[in-house]
Amino acid sequence: ISAISDAIATLESVEGDPTPSAEVLTREVARLLGRSELEFHALDGKYVVTRDGEPATGLSVGERTVITLIHFLEGVSRHDRVSRGNPIVVIDDPVSSLDSNVFMGISTYIWTVATRADVDQLMLLTHNFELFKQWDVQLESLHR
C-alpha cells in the first residue's frame, strides 16, 4: 500500500497534459489542411477553437475528421508502452470526408505516427481504393 501511495503521489505531481497540446493541434491541422485559419487554445482543461481569431463555428466534416485524427494519433504516440505494451490501433475510413488534395497528407501522417510509435498492429479500414493501393505498395516495400 505504501508503494502504491508513493506511485500515486508521484503521478499526481507530474506536470503536463496527456492530451495533445494546443500547439500540436494548431500546427498539424494547418499542415494537413494547407491553411492556417484554425487555432487551438487550452482553457480550463479544454480546447477553444478559433477561426481567424473568432470562435470557430460550423466546422466542416473534413475539418472535424482531421482534428479528431490528430488528437487520436497524438494519444497513440504518448501511449505508456512500459506499463501497457505497444498499442493496437484501428482507424476507420480516415479520408472519405476529405478533399482529394488532403488525402496524401493524411495517409503519410498515419504512416509516420504508426511506424514511429511502435504500434504492434494497425488496422486501417477504408472504402478509398487509392488509399488501399498506396498502403499496399508501402507495406510491400516495408517487408523487403
Contact 26, 48 (CB under 8 A): no
Q: How confident is the model at residue 20 (pLDDT cuts 50, 70, 90)?
A: low
* Cα–Cα distance, 123 to 25 (Å, whole number): 23
- Give tens-digit pLDDT for 37-90: 999 998 877 889 999 999 999 999 889 999 999 988 888 877 777 777 888 889
How confident is the model at residue 76, as a pLDDT? 82
* Cα–Cα distance, 144 to 136 (Å, whole number): 13
Q: How confident is the model at residue 138 (pLDDT cuts 50, 70, 90)?
A: confident
Residue 35 has a CB neighbour count (10 Å cut-off) of 10
Q: What is the mean pLDDT of residues 23-49?
A: 90
pTM metric for this prediction: 0.76
Instruction: Give the residue, 115 or 57, on which the prediction is more confident.
Output: 57
In terms of Cα–Cα distance, which of 62, 73, 63, 72 is closest to 96? Answer: 62
